[in-house]
Every structure is written in C-alpha cells, then in structure tokens.
Amino acid sequence: MGVKGWIGWHFKMDKTSLNAFQALVAAVIDDVLAQTKGDINQANEKLFRLGMAMAETLLFEYSDTIGEHATTFDGFLNTFTLATRVMLGKKFDEAYYDSEEKKIVYAFNDCPICENIRMSDEFRGLKYCNILSGVFQHVLTLRGFNSECEEVQCKTWGADSCIWELREK
C-alpha cells in the first residue's frame, strides 16, 4: 500500500463493524432465498444484481477518497485489491493477473463476507459472496470495460477459499 492508501485507510475511511456487516449479508441472503423460493440460480442472479446496484455508490465513495482510476483492465488488479481492503477491512490472500487467460483472480482464505457460514446441501451452488461479483463487474462497466465476473468457489460450499475471476471480453 502506498502512502496515499495508508493515509486513506488510517485517517479518511470510515470503518464498519464486521459482525454487523456479516449479519446484514446473512439477512439479505435469507431474504433473497425466500423471494426466489430457494431457486439457487435465481438467488445467484439476484445477489449479483444487488452488487451491481451497490457499485455506483461504492465507486463514487472510493473515487472521492483515492482520486485515481485504473486505465487498463489489468490495472484493476490493484484498484480492486485496495478498494476491497477499504470496504471489507481485509486484504485478499491471493490476487493476480493471468496474462494468458486475460483474467484477474482474487481469493480470500478467510472470507470476511461468509466467514463461519456453512450452507446445507440443499443450497449447494449458492454463490453467497456473489454481491462482490456484481460490484466488480459493474464498476468495470462504468469505467468502460466489457468484462464478466464470477464467484467460482465459495467457502460456504466447503471450499478452502472464496475465489472470483474477472475476465475481459
């Protein structure tokens, strides 16, 4: 983290209680599952759209604090790494750009979104952290990039980490 990022993190950014955030996410997930009558595909799409709706507010908040934007797709590797740390209070355990596949990969081994949540087999395939996919993809769209983002692995399924892949189309 550069000097500007350090200053922003320590002095400019408001912090949110992780427990309160996780409780809010759990309530949203419960509501989405009720609205979609447990249809996992519909629930995943709804969570993705909720993330997209959040993206504009978060982009403007982040822009005001940091004042810089990535100008290339691979430049979003660092932008989203810092923004996610600011939003969730935790740095990704893994973040890299795969130039062969033209994709950005992020992973949380201890995901702050779904920490300590395990879904029953009935909800296997629910992308619990898909809100973040919607945020990433819509921010890229707002910045003029044609891309797609998917949560490809989630700890709520019993995986070792939550993983997102962002691909430039």
Which CATH number goes with the domain that contains 151? Answer: 3.30.1380.20
Grouping H, G, I as helix, E, B as strand and the rest as coil, residue 119 is coil
The domain containing residue 101 runs over which residues?
3-8+16-168
Q: How much is the mean pLDDT over the chain?
A: 85
Give the integer Cα–Cα distance in Å for 101 and 144.
20
Q: For residue 2, what pLDDT band results from cuts at 50, 70 and 90? A: low
Average pLDDT of the segment spanning 151-167: 94
CA nearest 83: which of 38, 136, 123?
Answer: 136
pLDDT band (50, 70, 90) for residue 134: very high
Task: Summarize the confidence of residues 22-26 as an average pLDDT.
Answer: 81
The one-letter amino acid at 134: G
Q: Which residue has the higher pLDDT, 23 or 33?
A: 33
Tokens encoding 90: 């935790």
Band (pLDDT 50/70/90 cuts) for residue 93 is very high
146 and 168 Cβ atoms separated by less than 8 Å: yes
Domain count, the chain: 1
pLDDT for res 52 = 92
